[in-house]
Every structure is written in C-alpha cells, then in structure tokens.
Amino acid sequence: MDSCLIRIVYLLTLGVGGGYLLDPLPIDDTTDLSRSPEFIRHPQDAYITTKNKVVVLSCTARHATQVNFKCNEEWVRPKSVRNEIRFDPHTKTRYIDSEITVTRSQVEEYFDVYRCVCVAWSGPKTAVESDRAKIQIAHLKKHFVREPVHTSIEAGYPVQLQCLPPEGAPMPEVFWLHDGQPIDPSQDGNFIISPDGGLILNLARLNDAGNYTCGAKNIAARRTTEPAILTVYVNGGWSDYGAWTACDARCGRGIQKRFRACNNPEPLHGGLGCLGSPVQKGDCNVVCPAEDGQWSSWSEWSSCSPDCLHQRRRTCTNPEPSNGGAFCVGQDVMSGNCTGGMCRGAKLSKMTQQKKVPILFGSKLDNNPARIDITLSGRQSDSSTWRLYLGVAGAFAAVFLAIAVLIVVIRRRRNQPIYDMPNVDLYSPHLTKPLLRPEFECNHLFVPDNRHYQTDFKQPLRGLPNNSNFSMKLPPFNREAMFLSKSGQAFDNFRDLRNSPTQNSQSPLIEMNSSCRSDSSIEKPRCDSQASFEKSSLHSTTNSSNYAESECEPSEATPLNGMAGNESHQSLASFANIPQLPDPDCIVFSSLGPAGGQLNLPASGVALTVPEGCVKKGWHVEFFLGVSRESTDRPRVTDRQTLLSPVVIFGTSEPCLGKSTVLSFNHCAYINTFNDWNLTVWYNDCMSEGDFGQWKKIAILGQETINTPCYTQLDTKKVHILTDMPGRYALVGQSKVNCSAVKNLKLAVFAPETPASECSVRVYCVEDTKDALEAVTKIESQLGAVLMDKPQTLRFQDTGKPLSLTVEDVFDGWQVKAGGQQQEIPFTHIWSGQQAALHSSFSLVPTSFPVETLPRCNVVVRQVDSVYTQTLLMQGTPLIDNRPKNVYANLTVSQFGGSTAGISTTKTVFRIPGSTRRKFCGLMDVPRAQGNDWRMLAQKLQVDRYINYFATKPSPTDQILTLWEARNREETALSDLVAILRLMDRMDVVELLQSNLACWL
C-alpha cells in the first residue's frame, strides 16, 4: 500500500573506544548516502516533578542511517535508546524516531545542569547534532520577593498593588484573588495584571474594596501571599447652600446665615470631611419702623419755693422717639401752689403786679385755658441767702486758681531739659510745616501762593540780613509752581532745570503733604560752584519723625573720594527720560549711595529696595519710583488675559547697577487658584514722554530658565521682582486650559456728601490693589463725594459671565429712577483690566421735600451664575472722611556706610549691617554635604520656586537676603530668621547674628 510505512528496529552494540555505536542498518535503493541527515524534531527542555520521576526525550531525523543520544558529553547506554525507522512511500524518504528516558536520580547525581543532545549519521563523516535540551527538577520557593501591602485610595483614582513571585522552575504564573475569588482581567476590564505581577485598577470603585491575595503557581507547587486590604474612601463634598435665614437684627444692620451640608457625597471609609465652614454669613439690613416717643411718669413734687410754688417733671423717654418718630406732645413741667391758698395777701398782690409769662412745654404751644402761669418776681431773697452764694462762689474760685498754678508748675518741670542744647527750629520743623530754605539770593525766588509760614531764628541766617523774623511764601501743590525762574516762569519738568540760568542762585528745600508725590521730594542745595540739584524724599514712620537736614557747609559739598561734586553725585539733571505722569502724586525721587535704601509709595502699595552695593563705591545715583494710572500706558492684552497689578515704573541715572533691586507691588490674583493661572511678567524699557514703547514678556512663572533676566516671587497679596533693568513692569495672568482662574475685585460705593434733588450713587469695580482703590478715592474726593460703606472684596471668575449690580431695599424718602435699578458690566470690560476707574452709576431721587438725609439702600453685586456675592450697605451717612490726608511719600536710607543724601533716620532699612551680611553670605554660600546651606535657606524662606536663578549669581545668599529684606518688614523678622537658622542646625550663623545684632534679637 502507498500509505504504509516500513518500520525496522535495530540494536546497538558496544563499539570500540567505550562509546555505543549502532549496528549497520540495511540499505536499500531508496537510501541516499550523499545527503546529510536533517532533524525534523529536536529534544525539548523538560522538568521532573515529585509525581513523575522520569522524563522522556525524543527526536526525529531524516536521511540518517544511525541516531543516538549524548547526555553531559557521554553516550547513552543502548538499552535506554529506542529507535524506529519509517519510510514515506510518496517521497521515498526514510525517518528515524529516537527517544530515551531520564530519571530523577540521574539529574540529582549530576551537580551541573543536565543537558542532552541527539546525534544522527548518514555516513562515517556526516554526523549532525540537534538542539540541546535541559532537564531540571521542577520547584517553587515559598517566599515572595515582594508582597502587596495595605493601601488606601480615593474613589475614582487609579491604584496599583505590587507583587513579585518567588523563584521557581519553570517560571511561575501570577494570579490574583479578590476576597478569595479569582480575578479574570478578560472578564473585568478595570483590572490589569502587569508583566512583573502587579495588579492595576484603572479606577478604584467602592465595590473594589476588600482583601487582595497574590498567588504564583507552576507544575511543582502553588503559593499565595497574606491578604492585603484595599480601602476605597470617598472625600466629602459640600451640597448647595440653602436659603438665607431671617436677619438677626430687629432693625438696622445685622447678620443673616445660610447653611450647607457635607453630603454631596458624604465621607466614606475614612475619607476627609469637607473643608471650610458649613455656615456662610452675610450682611443684611432691616428697615427700622418709626417709633413715637412716650412720656414717663411724673416725678415727685419739689420743695416749696419762696413764691409758694412747687414743681414736678416728666421726660419723653418711655420710649424715646427713634427712626423719625414724633416727639411727645404736652408739658414736661407742671407747677402749682404749695400752701393751699394760705400765702400772705401783700405777697400775692405784689406777685400779681408782675408780668405773667406762659410756660411752653413739649413741641407745641399748649392752648389749654387751664394752663399754669408763673409770675417772674424780681424780689430778692434775704441778705443771708446772698452771703451764702457769695461765699460758695469765692471758694470755687480759690480752688480753681490753685489747680491752675499746680498744673503750670508740673508742666514746667516736665519740659525742662536735662542738658543745654541750641535752638534747632530751622532744621527740625514739624512734619506738616512746609519749609523753604533760602540761600544767598532769596530775593530772586517768587512763588505765587496765599499760604504764609513765619518763624523766629535765634541766629541770623547766612546770606540774609540780621533780623529776628523771617517770612516766606510757599508754592501751591502743583508741578508748575514747584520750580520757577527769576522771571517767574515755571519750568515744564525737571529736565528744564539743566538749562536754567538761575539754577546756581538758589536751591529750594521743600516738604509737601502727599501720599506719593514727585513734588514732595527734597531739593538739597549744593555749595559748590556747579550746584546741581539733588533730589530726595522724606521717610516717616509711626514711631519716629525724621527731617531733612542741610547745613550747606563747605565740608558737605566735598565730593566722595575727593572728586568734584558733579563727578561723584548724579543729579536730577542726569535723568534723560523722566516720565511725565498725569498724576504727580504717584512718583518719588531719591539720591542713594553705596549703603542702599528704599523708596516707598505707601498709598499705592509700591516699594523699591536698593541693596547695599547696588551703587558703586564713591558714587551717588538718582532713583525714581512711580505708578502709572493711565489706561494708554497699560499693556495690550488678549480677551483671555487680564492685568493683575498696577503699571509700576522705576528708573536710575546710572544704567548699570552692581546688584539687582527688588520691586514690590500688589496683585489681585486669588491665591487658592494659583494652580489655575498662567502668570507672566511684562516689561517695557521705554520711559520717554509721549512714547509708551513696546511691552514684552520677560518671565513666565514656572517656565524660567537661566536666561530669564529676573526672579519673580509671588506671595498672597504681593509680587516681588528681583531685577536690575529700569523700566515699566506689570503682572499679567491667563487661565490654564480647562481651568477658570479667579481674581479679586474691590467694590467701593460713593455718594455726594450733601443731599440734593438727585443723588448719583457710583459703585466702582476695580482690581483689589491699594493703588486702584487710592485712585478712585482721589477722583471721588475731587468730585465732593464720600465713601458710604467699607470697601468689599469680590471674587471674579473667568467664566465669561458679566457682573450684575442691583439696588435693593431703598428706604422711605428715596426711589430709584425708572429702569435704572439693575445694571450689568460686560465680562471683557472687567477681566481685561484695561479700563481704569470702572464703575456703574445709579440715580436716586427723593419722594418728598425738603431732603435732609442721604439715601439708604443696599447694592448687591454678583457675577452671573456664580456663588460669589457681595452687598454694599448705604446707611445714609458717610463711613469715613475720604478727603486727602497728609501722607508723605517715604524714603528710607540705611545708616550703615553713611549717606550724603541729607536723610537721617533712626530706623534702618536693612536689619543686617553690611559687614555682618558679608560674613553671613560667606558662611552660607559654601556647599555642605548635609544640604544646610543657601539652598535650604531658600527653601525655609519659601523663595525656592526657581532656585537656579540664585545659583547663577556670585553670592546666592546675598540675593536671598535682599529678597528677605523686601518681603519681611515686620518687627519679628530677624528673630524668625534666627529660628530658621536654628532649625537648619547652622549655629555658626546664629552666633554671628547674636554677637553683632544682640540689641535686635
């Protein structure tokens, strides 16, 4: 038959050389001895278990005449080899199937890996070997390399349980059990078994909590770990607020509440509770009803008078009239005869001859015919009564005179100095007294103003006639009259001073009241022949009063290091581009030396810190700091971007500074949503008048590189920029993708100070910065308006929704004009921050005349479809007097190193003196293995957001301390720094500070 195979069994015989050779097999016409043998099936790796004590290895070769096995380089005994020959009738090919049996004892006796190979021949020199097969004893160790541990995860988040199986042969298979039931990833797609054996849950669900067991198995054994508990918890979430409760005040301003519950969802399995308060409080106002006054009970009758009359009284206090209620009607005093008609006739006849005057009580004339008339008698009491009165009056006069004399004596003793000192009225006037000091040619100075300041000098002034009284006129508070030529023509700006022919004749020293004026600076006279102007400003604190001093002695005019005055000092004339700000209240000038200093605009919340060493040794550099409130000066942003700060300007007369300054100003980004913001610092290097230059981004917070020219420190309310580039700065923000950032707005309501036939109520919605509120307050004060309620903060979210303003609860006597009760401000007008002094106006008209009080109402401000709401309450009276106060622009100059700017201060800018600071930096700049060097200091001071900026500086610690000085202005700042150094285990630096600054600690 064609399909049959011819099978021939042959025996092996012991050959020469110790090996076992096959007996020659019969060769027929189909055997092709010229072809090499070829293996069709190779022996495979095998494992011996405790159950099967042996393993069978097999192979198949074609075109072979002989086949045998060799294990561990030794031929297998013939009795252990079984060969079968078969022929394929179609191809006439001969096949040999061979197999052997390997026992467990053979494998255990061999101390290395037991390997076997199949060898086939077709001739004496045509031997071919198959692949080698390994025979091993199957096993699985007991202990896992890594077992799963107890894990807690919030619902909805992924989690992975780690597991590494024990060693074994063959490689064990990992499986997982959930509460004893096998996990099949093919049935539940939420589970994934990783290649290393871990279990991954894509999203943890509540029903996924329980005991998880990792297992491993192979043909030898099956192992499992101890169960690991997976806890799936749920953090609590707030429900929506409920309705507002009733106002707790019976009338007037009160508080109302609304509540929310932590059940959306409730915390489960150890989840966190809801953050925040379940109660929200809000202001409310209840209209107080008018309450009429009522009489109290009559008092007891008084004693009888010489005119035979006695009286009794009552008051309108049961209750008093309130909220416009009517006063009591009727008499408050009643008189009557106290003798029952038994008075002497002569006395009565004398009394009736006097003029009778009816007594009027209450608010109306009582026309009752039965009213009582009191006769005014001119009759004097007897002489004894007059003596008594005169004696009492004399005693009182004597006591009063004695007390007055005693007070005068005590005051003289208290004010008597303990040492003699000259009169210093010229050099230390009161802060509110403007002072103009003349020099040599005072008759050339003309300033038109009606204010007059007069003082007495103990000694005649140099360059003036010898007189005891000196009088001068003060300039009005404006830029034009600040500096005048001999002809009386005003200079347009400070740059005109350079070409003035009269600048050598005199130098006015001026102090003006201002929150932050360029005109409030001090012009210090120069005594050298070139007499350039040197501008500085006054620094005032709550604890001390500091004054400008200028003796104008020849020694003071000597330049530093022996240089000429125009070489060692940079004057105001050296400013090439001083900005012409429309509001002169927003700029301050100063001349600073190597010791450094600080310029402040306190009303705008802006400061410039100039560290020691920023100005070259032997030099003085002019600095100015300002805030621009012009809309045209603001950077042009896109619809999604928003301006978060005022536009701050600072400049110097020296373009190259030795160190970076710190520019500090307010921002209005909401701190809890910093992760939702993309914040950038914008810069404009142009400060010329009429040319606003090109704004550009110089820093993207969180994406800084070593090429970023500045470092930006963002705090809750302020931003501090380390920079050495004078120019204009602003902070701009934008919401991240799929986020809605929040900025803070400041709401302020203004109304006229006096009532009129129509009342315009203006509600301002500006950025929550000091400068923005100061700007609108000044505008309203010039219009004669006053602040009606404390400014409120409103959170405004990047949702594209407008801002809604509604007038509610208008009290009696006023009403809103028809159609003007509610207004909306478009979202883009507010979010961009491009419009200064943005506000809405409401017109209220009285319902009756005359108008006596301002309107009382509530203004509710809220963003549409937002939970953020604020209520402004108008109670009919101004909250505060918001007229301009006498606030000075501040200049603080460090006393260390000595400054010739003419400023003396008892409180220094820098808490760490220069010599101590250099030693401090020398200790902290050196890297330490423990890591407690400048890097840890930056981390503890929370200025490590981009630490590579400090690493690129010659002294990282010096930059960190400069930023620390600008950020921490409280009294305990130095003590807090020492505490941080103790936590860093830097006792060497602590001892340095304690030895040099013991009085401050």
Q: What is the secondary structure of 445-485 as a DSSP string?
A: -----S-EEEEE-SSPPTTS-S-SEEEEE---SSSTTTSB-
Quote the CA–CA distance of 941 and 981 in Å, as a whole number: 10
The answer to whether residue 871 scores a pLDDT higher than 50 is: yes
Residue 880 lies in a domain: no
Same domain, yes or no: 797 and 835: yes
Q: Encode pLDDT of 145-164 as tens digits.
A: 999 999 999 999 999 999 99
- Residues in contact with 1: Cβ distance below 8 Å, sequence separation at least 6, in sequence order: 89
Report phi then psi at 380, rounded to 5.
-85, 150
Same domain, yes or no: 165 and 41: no
Neighbours of 528 (CB within 10 A): 16
Q: Encode pLDDT of 50-98 as tens digits.
A: 777 888 999 999 888 889 999 988 888 877 788 888 888 888 888 899 9
- pLDDT band of residue 133 (cuts 50, 70, 90) is very high
Quote the CA–CA distance of 890 and 909 in Å, as a whole number: 12
Average pLDDT over residues 563-583: 48
Last residue of a domain, one of 233, 264, 293: 233
Higher pLDDT, 584 or 461: 584
Same domain, yes or no: 551 and 685: yes
Token pair, residue 234, equals: 């749920």
Neighbours of 553 (CB within 10 A): 10
- Looking at residue 815, its pLDDT comes to 84
- Looking at residue 857, its pLDDT comes to 85
Q: Encode pLDDT of 287-312 as tens digits.
A: 778 888 999 998 888 888 777 888 88
Q: What is the pTM of this model?
A: 0.47
Residue carrying the six token digits 């201060």: 905
Quote the CA–CA distance of 783 and 756 in Å, as a whole number: 14
Token pair, residue 212, equals: 């998880």
Q: Encode pLDDT of 677-724 as tens digits.
A: 999 999 998 765 445 578 999 999 989 988 899 999 999 899 999 999
CA-based diameter of the chain, in Å?
Answer: 187
Residue 692 lies in a domain: yes
777 sits in which H/E element = helix 770-782
317 sits in which H/E element = none
- Residues in contact with 425: Cβ distance below 8 Å, sequence separation at least 6, in sequence order: 455, 456, 457, 458
pLDDT > 70: percent of the chain: 70
Q: Encode pLDDT of 242-263 as tens digits.
A: 999 988 887 778 889 999 999 9
Same domain, yes or no: 21 and 130: yes
SS (H, E, C) 893-962: ECCCCCCCCCECCCCCCCCCCHHHHHHHHHHHCCCCCCCCCHHHHHHHCCCCCCCHHHHCCCCHHHHHHH
CATH number for 130 = 2.60.40.10
Residue 772, judged by CB atoms within 10 A of its CB (0-12, 13-18, 19+), counts as buried
- Looking at residue 586, its pLDDT comes to 84
Same domain, yes or no: 575 and 706: yes
- Looking at residue 664, its pLDDT comes to 95
Residue 303 lies in a domain: no
Residue 598 lies in a domain: yes
Report phi then psi at 181, rounded to 5.
-105, 135
- pLDDT band of residue 920 (cuts 50, 70, 90) is very high
Pick the closest to residue 776 from 762, 789, 755, 792 (CA basis).
Answer: 762
The answer to whether residue 633 scores a pLDDT higher than 90 is: no
- pLDDT band of residue 441 (cuts 50, 70, 90) is very low
pLDDT > 90: percent of the chain: 31
158, 68 contact by CB (below 8 A):
no
345 sits in which H/E element = helix 345-352
Q: Encode pLDDT of 350-403 as tens digits.
A: 444 443 334 333 333 344 433 334 333 344 445 556 777 888 888 888 888 889
Same domain, yes or no: 691 and 762: no
Same domain, yes or no: 106 and 169: no
DSSP-assigned letter for residue 74: E
- Looking at residue 518, its pLDDT comes to 36
Last residue of a domain, one of 198, 233, 268: 233
Residue 818 lies in a domain: yes
Pick the closest to residue 539 from 547, 527, 550 (CA basis).
Answer: 547
CATH number for 932 = 1.10.533.10
Residue 645 lies in a domain: yes
Token pair, residue 877, equals: 């009276």
Neighbours of 984 (CB within 10 A): 20
Token pair, residue 177, equals: 């059990």
508, 445 contact by CB (below 8 A):
yes
- Looking at residue 30, its pLDDT comes to 54
Last residue of a domain, one of 452, 483, 506: 506
- Looking at residue 63, its pLDDT comes to 86
101, 82 contact by CB (below 8 A):
no
Quote the CA–CA distance of 191 and 194 in Å, as a whole number: 10
Average pLDDT value for the chain? 74
Higher pLDDT, 694 or 514: 694
CATH number for 856 = 2.60.40.2660
Token pair, residue 889, equals: 């622009």
Same domain, yes or no: 714 and 593: yes
3-state class (DSSP) for residue 830? helix
203, 156 contact by CB (below 8 A):
yes
Q: How many helices (H) and strands (E) does the chain have?
A: 12, 56
- Looking at residue 877, its pLDDT comes to 66
CA dihedral over 690, 691, 696, 701, signed as positive or negative: negative
Quote the CA–CA distance of 510 and 93 in Å, as a whole number: 122
The answer to whether residue 822 scores a pLDDT higher than 80 is: yes
Residue 900 lies in a domain: yes
- What is the tally of structural domains in the chain? 6
934, 950 contact by CB (below 8 A):
yes
Measured in residues, the chain has a length of 1001
Residue 928 lies in domain:
911-1000
Pick the closest to residue 920 from 951, 964, 970 (CA basis).
Answer: 964
Same domain, yes or no: 658 and 557: yes
Average pLDDT over residues 834-862: 83
- Looking at residue 428, its pLDDT comes to 33
Q: Encode pLDDT of 696-709 as tens digits.
A: 999 999 899 888 99
Residue 982 lies in a domain: yes
- Looking at residue 908, its pLDDT comes to 59
- Looking at residue 201, its pLDDT comes to 93
Quote the CA–CA distance of 70 and 118 in Å, as a whole number: 6
Quote the CA–CA distance of 293 and 305 in Å, as a whole number: 31
Same domain, yes or no: 686 and 545: yes
- Catalogue the E-assigned strands of 533-646: 534-536, 587-592, 597-601, 606-610, 621-628, 641-643
791, 748 contact by CB (below 8 A):
yes
Pick the closest to residue 971 from 334, 541, 677 (CA basis).
Answer: 541
Same domain, yes or no: 529 and 660: yes
The answer to whether residue 208 scores a pLDDT higher than 90 is: yes
CA 342 to chain centre: 88
CATH number for 641 = 2.60.220.30
Same domain, yes or no: 529 and 675: yes
The answer to whether residue 565 scores a pLDDT higher than 60 is: no
